[in-house]
Amino acid sequence: MAIYHMQAKVVSRGSGRSAVAASAYMSCSRMYNDYDGIQHDYTRKQGLIYQEVMLPPMAPLEWNDREQLWNAVEENEKTKDSRLAREFVVALPVELDKDSNISLLQDFIKKIL
């Protein structure tokens, strides 16, 4: 039986967070934050099953690189309490296989883009 759970959080400078750091953590990658000069390295973090950058059709092609995307966000938002991103935590049905869960999430993201 599926248990439904979804949590939406704001990635905000006011709470001491960075969009670049959050993206590096979620993608288990290494990214340099141009805004504060900090290198965020989460390449040793394990557990990543799938990753993809999904953008609206009018987004610049260079934003397919998540480091460029989130550094552009950091550069555009100037205030110390800027809301940089939203993070969604979703419980996926265990009854579905990996590919079905990925498809489910892709459909959801397409609807909110």
- Write the pLDDT tens digit of every residue in 6-20: 999 999 999 999 999
37-55 per-position pLDDT tens digit = 999 999 999 999 999 999 9
In the chain, the number of structural domains is: 1
Which residue segment(s) compose the domain that 56 sits in?
A: 6-112
100 lies in a domain? yes
Report yes or no on whether pTM surpasses 0.85.
yes
- Distance from C-alpha of 85 to C-alpha of 42, rounded to nearest angstrom: 19
77 lies in a domain? yes
1 lies in a domain? no
The set of residues, in sequence order, having a beta carbon less than 8 Å from that of 21 and lying 6+ positions away, is 31, 33, 38, 40
For residue 86, what is the domain's CATH number?
A: 3.30.930.30
Half-sphere exposure of 74 (CA within 13 A, CB side): 23
**Given a cut of 80, is residue 2 above it in pLDDT?**
no
